[in-house]
């Protein structure tokens, strides 16, 4: 796929590099010449350009791109103006980064494809790790609904799956279980092989290295982790 990323700071620059590494074509845009210089040899191409200027934006191949990502975070006004100009130019698919709830609300009003909240998501992950000892991989489906994969809480190891009462008590839907199967490597050392099991018996006994994959609201996941 082809992307334009506008804003090559820590977030936008890192995203541009990662997308390039996995095989996508990325055009980077920033007003800061130093940022562009630092990335121009790592991505397809990069431009020093003021994206808040409508005429300057016209220099970009907006009609040939799959997605334009507005990664500007520190300049609230510039972010909103760029999104407005892209909508005006009828860019088909727009993602934009929001740095706080007000910023997100304004971007939502433009009805763009996706509002990105990397700082908020990272803060949630870190809070879960610090306060609850939980590391979760999350994929947001809607405003506050996620598919999350997380390790079976230590207190639940040895219990039957149905003892968690995920759906009844926490309104969480179990999608699958990533089962840890103990094996030995070529050195005879114990290790684990992971297998996804989508049809799990209620009487399955939970193991310490198992991970649950569930769907539900963030508040319901918090309620589960606080209990266990």
pTM of the model as a whole = 0.63
Q: Band the pLDDT of 129: cuts 50, 70, 90.
A: low
132-227 matches 2-116 in CATH topology: no
226 vs 128: CA distance, rounded Å = 10
Q: What pLDDT sits at residue 82?
A: 97
Q: How many CB atoms lie within 10 A of CB 220?
A: 20
- Topology annotation, domain 132-227: Alpha-Beta Plaits (3.30.70)
173 vs 49: CA distance, rounded Å = 47
Query: Is 3.40.50.720 the CATH classification of the domain at 2-116?
Result: yes
100 vs 200: CA distance, rounded Å = 40
Per domain, the residue ranges of the chain are 2-116, 132-227
Q: What pLDDT sits at residue 130?
A: 58
Where does the chain have alpha helices with state H? 10-21, 33-39, 54-57, 76-88, 101-109, 118-127, 166-170, 218-227
Q: Apex CA 137: angle with CA 135 and CA 139, to 5°?
A: 145
Q: What pLDDT sits at residue 181?
A: 79
52 pLDDT higher than 80: yes
């Amino acid at each position: 796929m082809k992307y334009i990323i506008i804003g090559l700071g820590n977030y936008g620059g890192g995203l541009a590099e990662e997308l390039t590494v996995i095989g996508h074509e990325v055009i980077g845009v920033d007003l800061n010449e130093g940022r562009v210089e630092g990335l121009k040899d790592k991505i397809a191409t990069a431009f020093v350009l003021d994206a808040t200027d409508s005429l300057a934006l016209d220099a970009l191949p907006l009609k040939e791109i799959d997605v334009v990502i507005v990664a500007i975070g520190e300049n609230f006004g510039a972010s909103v103006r760029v999104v407005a100009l892209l909508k005006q130019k009828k860019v088909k698919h727009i993602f934009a980064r929001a740095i706080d709830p007000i910023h997100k609300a304004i971007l939502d009003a433009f009805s763009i494809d996706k509002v990105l909240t990397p700082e908020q998501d990272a803060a949630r992950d870190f809070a879960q790790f610090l306060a609850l000892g939980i590391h979760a991989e999350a994929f947001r489906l809607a405003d506050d609904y996620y598919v999350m994969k997380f390790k079976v809480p230590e207190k639940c190891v040895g219990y039957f799956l149905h003892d968690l009462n995920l759906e009844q008590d926490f309104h969480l839907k179990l999608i699958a279980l990533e089962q840890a199967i103990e094996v030995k490597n070529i050195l005879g050392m114990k290790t684990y092989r992971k297998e996804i099991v989508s049809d799990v018996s209620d009487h399955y006994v939970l193991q310490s290295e198992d991970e649950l994959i569930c769907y539900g609201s963030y508040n319901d996941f918090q309620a589960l982790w606080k209990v266990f």
